Amino acid sequence: MIKKILITGCAGFIGSNLTDKLLKLEYQVVGMDNFNDYYDPKIKENNLKNALTNKNFKLYREDILNFEKLKKIFIKEKFEKIVHLAARAGVRPSISDPQLYYKVNIEGTVNLLKLSVDFKVDKFVFGSSSSVYGNSNKLPFLEDDLCDKIISPYGASKRSAEFFVESFWHSFGLKSQVLRFFTVYGPRGRPDMAPALFTKAILKGETIKQFGDGSSSRDYTYIDDITGGIVKAINKNLNFEILNLGNNKPVALKDFILTMEKITGKRAKIEKLPAQMGDVVITHADITKTGRILGWKPVTKFEDGLQKYIAWINSFSAQ
């Protein structure tokens, strides 16, 4: 039987890729998104163009902060599972508007947790972030780490939401997986993130703003590996687990730029600027636990993923 699943944040980068993947697997997908203008909402509309032609997809243009409206949707739809991805997702903007991050990322999550319990949802998958590890110098990052080095309101909002998810398992038996994503890149990549900014700049011959000396590193993880991990979490019968979804191979900023130059055959123009507040030095996922519990491991090498991403950008701008 087709399972009915709610994906919040379905119009975003990860949400829309996941929606397409689940529709291919013949899930019945209900998407929810408020299409806010954190980045151009037309991009989000475009992300859902394919899904909207599929009879197994239904869209609610709703805000996860509107509890009464959400309740009506839960009554009507009777979800079996939820993947909660809707959030304010940028690190740097969380420093200028921490209250917004607090509201959407914590209160919005608690709204969905409460309704999941009230309407007996089978499983809750939460999209968390490597930002919860903050500036920890204990590498690679392990799910059991204390996470007491958080340096951005975004990271704090995600860690707080994780605590709520865990508490709903203990208090109400809501089966849930917290998935900590590490810098995701690929087609439909968020336009505010480094992979999009850098790639577009190099393709257009514009200057790349490099914050810091180029040694800061990210465990860039390709979108298909991330959505593959989410699908595994959806399908596995588990109680409460925190799991890293990362590539386990950090790439330094300067090597990122060199790889881009190699793929595009263009030389990057770089403007060096001081490191930014809220940015951590390195992210590096230990993925032993995820491998053991979900049978997941990333399969996309960074250079291959970047090549696919650049090909997607080129095809897009050729349209």
Ligand X SMILES: NC(=O)c1ccc[n+]([C@@H]2O[C@H](COP(=O)([O-])OP(=O)(O)OC[C@H]3O[C@@H](n4cnc5c(N)ncnc54)[C@H](O)[C@@H]3O)[C@@H](O)[C@H]2O)c1
Q: Which sequence positions are flagged as catalytic? A: 154
Q: Are 246 and 287 in contact (CB under 8 A)?
A: yes
Between 2 and 51, name the residue whose CB sits nearer to ligand X.
Answer: 51
Binding status of residue 104 toward ligand X by CB under 6 A: yes
Site for ligand X contains 125 (CB under 6 A): no
The dihedral sign for the CA sequence 107, 113, 114, 116: positive
CB of 239 to ligand X, least distance (A): 22
Using rule CB under 6 A, residue 228 touches ligand X: no
The encoded tokens of residue 80 equal 């079996």
Q: Which of residues 7-46 bind ligand X (CB under 6 A)?
A: 9, 11-15, 32-36, 38, 44
Question: Could you say whether residue 115 binds ligand X (CB under 6 A)?
Answer: no
Residue 105 DSSP class: I
Q: Are 190 and 253 in contact (CB under 8 A)?
A: no
Based on the shown chain and the rule CB under 6 A, indicate whether residue 177 belongs to the binding site for ligand X. Answer: no
Considering beta carbons, is residue 47 or 210 the nearer one to ligand X? 47
Q: What are 309-317's contacts with CB under 8 Å, separation 24+?
A: 309/185, 309/186, 309/187, 309/189, 309/195, 309/199, 310/199, 310/203, 310/260, 310/263, 310/264, 312/186, 312/187, 313/199, 313/200, 313/203, 314/203, 317/203
Rounded CA separation 85/87 (Å): 6
Q: Note whether 65 binds ligand X by CB under 6 A.
A: yes
As a whole number of angstroms, the distance between CA 159 and CA 147 comes to 8
Binding mask 71-90 for ligand X (x = CB under 6 A): --------------xxx-x-
Binding of ligand X at residue 233 (CB under 6 A)?
Answer: no
Which range touches ligand X (CB under 6 A), out of 50-58, 61-69, 250-258, 284-292?
A: 61-69
List interacting residues with ligand X (CB under 6 A).
9, 11-15, 32-36, 38, 44, 63-65, 85-87, 89, 104, 108, 127, 129, 181, 183-184, 190
